[in-house]
Each structure stands twice: as C-alpha cells, then as structure tokens.
C-alpha cells in the first residue's frame, strides 16, 4: 500500500490515470523512460552530472535572492499542500494494510 507520499506525487507528475497505474503495478522506469514521461528533465552520463549541476546552480544564483525565494515558495506551495493532506491518511492506510501481510515468522 503506497502511503508515504508517492500516492500524491505520482498522479501529480504523471496524471491521475498513469500515476495510479504505476502505483498499482509497481512498474519501474529506466532513466530514459522517466525522461520520456516527463518525470525527470535531463538524463546525463555520470561523468557530466557535476558540471551540469554547477551550471544550473550558477544560473539560479544569477537570479535576485527574493526572486529565487518566492519562486521556490510559489512552485512548492501546491505540492506541500497536497502532501500535507495525503501523507497522514496514506500512512494510516499503509499501517492498517500491513496487518494483511503474511507473517514472516510462520513462513
């Protein structure tokens, strides 16, 4: 039972139908598939990661501090609200559903 926030984030990122599908099937994605679905923006070889991260950091640091702060607040507001609404309930359901698991000691 996905209750730690993924039940909120996957449908948000992938859309309600595809996000629910991924949660039901526990499908894994390769990096390229994640990029094709819009889950990640870039896929790079490991030896290029630090240079690209530094480039993005410099780009963000070039913005005025208040612009960075309030853009982050605005972009994160919806996600924080949805997580606040969904995580407690999801964790409760996850805990209840754990009672349904086979007893490992009896196995």
Domain of 55, in residue numbers: 6-96
101 domain residue, yes or no? no
Integer Cα distance of 72 and 87 in angstroms: 21
Q: Residue 3 has what pLDDT?
A: 81
Half-sphere exposure of 71 (CA within 13 A, CB side): 8
Q: How many CB atoms lie within 10 A of CB 25?
A: 8
44: domain CATH number is: 3.90.226.10
Residues 52-82: tens digit of each pLDDT: 999 999 999 999 999 999 999 999 999 999 9
Integer Cα distance of 11 and 20 in angstroms: 6
64 domain residue, yes or no? yes
Q: Residue 24 has what pLDDT?
A: 93
Total number of domains in the chain: 1
């Amino acid at each position: 039972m996905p209750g730690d926030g993924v039940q909120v984030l996957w449908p948000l990122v992938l859309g309600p139908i595809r996000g629910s599908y991924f949660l039901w099937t526990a499908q894994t994605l390769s990096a390229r598939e994640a990029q094709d679905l819009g889950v990640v923006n870039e896929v790079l070889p490991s030896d290029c990661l630090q240079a690209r991260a530094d480039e993005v950091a410099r780009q963000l640091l070039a913005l005025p501090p208040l612009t960075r702060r309030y853009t982050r607040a605005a972009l994160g507001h919806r996600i924080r609200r949805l997580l606040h609404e969904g995580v407690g309930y999801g964790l409760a359901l996850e805990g209840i559903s754990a009672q349904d698991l086979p007893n490992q000691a009896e196995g």
